[in-house]
């Protein structure tokens, strides 16, 4: 068995994964994201590990994999998740190794998008492809790369950070310090913000009582709202440009898309494929396939296990 931990700004999940990639046990606790003490945030990780260790199958665990919101540094074993302000350069790998249940067993650390990529390449939509780009389109946009049949994480674990390539030279400033980043156009947050700026309102009157998001824009788009449809088309075009640029650089076979925004399905995928035909025009990029991710919320844990096995 491989123990797996998936660290996010909202929840921290844990699981026991068999060597064939089957997830046998899953636990989840809310992240103490508002805590100012790094140790208090880590308590959630310790609770997840303790709950996993209570399962009889823990006796067969010989390694542990961790996928974390980033940035990460896999050389130093540290994480600095944007949505966990108390963790800046936090030595997550060392702290996990020091837990009594882990007892110094090997701990592999990776970014959450890289873990998702490892999972989809091992058990999901990128399986069988030697060169793949796997994207998580949610509150932000993350991605990971498979090159020559292996997950490529880069020297620090941040390779494939597609959400922060520039797709609009005159675009909005991004919190990362650049401007016109893909994330500022194609994330769920950006889709809703652009639609609102263009005059769209949820339900046509803005009286839903809920904060507008990509899901509510998708609901309007399915009803034929032109602004909502344009918001998804704009996001799809930006994603197509980023995917095509990556394919031109490293020669990809497939782009796999997952994350909350992909609940919109063909509202995003159909215009993405159409726009990709305008951007992926060189002979060695025209064959690029676009697929929806298959593993859903289990991808983070299965991917963390894959990193530990590698």
Tokens of 194: 């652009």
* Distance in angstroms (rounded) separating the CA atoms of residues 272 and 281: 14
Q: 72 near 112, Cβ under 8 Å?
A: no
Please give the pLDDT value at position 209. 52
User: Do 255 and 153 fall into the same domain?
Assistant: yes
What is the DSSP-derived secondary structure letter of residue 138? S
Q: Is position 80 within any domain?
A: yes
Residues ≥6 apart with Cβ < 8 Å to 31: 7, 8, 9, 10, 11, 12, 41, 44, 84
Q: How far apart are CA 41 and CA 87, in angstroms?
A: 8
In a domain, 207, yes or no: yes
Same domain, 239 and 159: yes
159 and 249 housed in the same domain: yes
pLDDT band at 207 (very low <50, low <70, confident <90, very high): very low
Residues 87 and 202 reside in one and the same domain: no
251 secondary structure, DSSP code: -
In a domain, 123, yes or no: no
Contact 141, 258 (CB under 8 A): no
Encode pLDDT of 10-38 as tens digits: 889 999 999 999 999 999 999 998 899 99
CATH number of 17's domain: 3.30.420.40
83 & 181 share domain? no
Scored b (16 or more CB within 10 A) or e, 230-250 reads: bbbbbbbbbbbbbbbbbbbee
> Quick one: what percent of the chain has pLDDT higher than 90?
82
Q: In which domain, by residue range, is 154 found?
A: 128-293
| Dihedral-angle region of residue 203 (phi above 0 means left; psi in -120 to 50 means alpha; beta otherwise) | left
Find out whether 255 and 220 touch, Cβ atoms under 8 Å.
Answer: no
**Diameter of the chain measured on Cα atoms:** 57
Nearest to 199 by CA among 231, 236, 243: 231
Query: Which pTM was predicted?
Result: 0.87
Tell whether 219 and 155 lie within a shared domain.
yes
**In the 8-state DSSP scheme, what is residue 164?**
G
Are 49 and 66 in contact by the 8 Å Cβ rule? The answer is: no
Q: How many residues does the chain have?
A: 310
* Residue 122 domain flag: no
In-domain check, residue 121? no
Q: Are 182 and 190 in contact (CB under 8 A)?
A: no
Residue 237 included in any domain: yes
Pair 256, 166 in one domain: yes
CA distance 196 to 99: 47
Q: 283 and 154 in one domain?
A: yes
Question: Pseudo-torsion of CA 48, 72, 183, 178, nearest 10°?
Answer: 150
Structural domain total, the chain: 2
Instruction: Write the pLDDT tens digit of every residue in 103-150.
Output: 889 999 999 999 999 999 999 999 999 999 999 998 889 899 999 999
Span 213-236, pLDDT tens digits: 999 999 999 999 999 999 999 999
Using the predicted structure, report yes or no on whether residue 205 has a pLDDT greater than 70: no
User: How far is 264 from 236, CA to CA, in rounded Å?
Assistant: 12
93 lies in the same domain as 153: no
Give residue 206's pLDDT: 45
Give pLDDT, residue 34: 87
- Based on the fold, state whether residues 166 and 215 are members of the same structural domain: yes
Phi/psi for 73 (5° steps) reads: -135, 100
Mean pLDDT of the chain: 92
Residue 95 belongs to some domain of the structure: yes
Work out the number of other CB atoms within 10 angstroms of the CB of residue 39: 11
**Which pair of tokens denotes residue 46?**
């310790």
Residues 149, 249, single domain; the answer is yes
Do residue 214 and residue 245 come from a single domain?
Answer: yes
């Amino acid at each position: 068995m491989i123990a797996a931990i998936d660290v996010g700004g909202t929840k921290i999940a844990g699981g026991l994964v068999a060597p064939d990639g089957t997830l046998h046990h899953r636990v989840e606790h809310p992240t103490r994201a508002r805590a100012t003490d790094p140790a208090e945030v880590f308590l959630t990780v310790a609770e997840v590990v303790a709950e996993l260790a209570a399962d009889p199958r823990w006796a067969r665990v010989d390694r542990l994999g961790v996928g974390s919101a980033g940035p990460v540094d896999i050389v130093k074993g540290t994480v600095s998740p944007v949505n966990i302000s108390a963790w800046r350069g936090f030595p997550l790998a060392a702290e996990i190794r020091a837990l009594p249940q882990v007892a110094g067993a090997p701990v592999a650390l990776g970014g959450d998008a890289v873990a998702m990529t490892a999972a989809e390449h091992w058990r999901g939509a990128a399986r069988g492809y030697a060169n793949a780009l796997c994207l998580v389109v949610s509150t932000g946009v993350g991605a990971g790369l498979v090159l020559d049949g292996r997950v490529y994480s880069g020297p620090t674990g941040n390779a494939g950070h597609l959400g922060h390539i520039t797709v609009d030279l005159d675009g909005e400033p991004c919190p990362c310090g650049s401007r016109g980043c893909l994330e500022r156009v194609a994330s769920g947050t950006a889709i809703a913000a652009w639609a609102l700026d263009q005059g769209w309102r949820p339900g046509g009157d803005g009286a839903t009582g809920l904060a507008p998001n990509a899901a509510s824009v998708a609901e309007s788009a399915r009803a034929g709202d032109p602004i909502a449809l344009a918001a998804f088309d704009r996001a799809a075009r930006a994603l197509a440009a980023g995917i095509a640029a990556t394919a031109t650089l490293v020669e990809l076979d497939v782009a796999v898309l997952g994350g909350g925004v992909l609940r919109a399905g063909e509202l995003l995928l159909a215009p993405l494929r159409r726009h990709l035909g305008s951007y992926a025009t060189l002979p060695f990029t025209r064959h690029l396939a676009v697929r929806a991710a298959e593993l859903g919320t289990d991808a983070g844990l299965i991917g963390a296990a894959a990193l530990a096995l590698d």
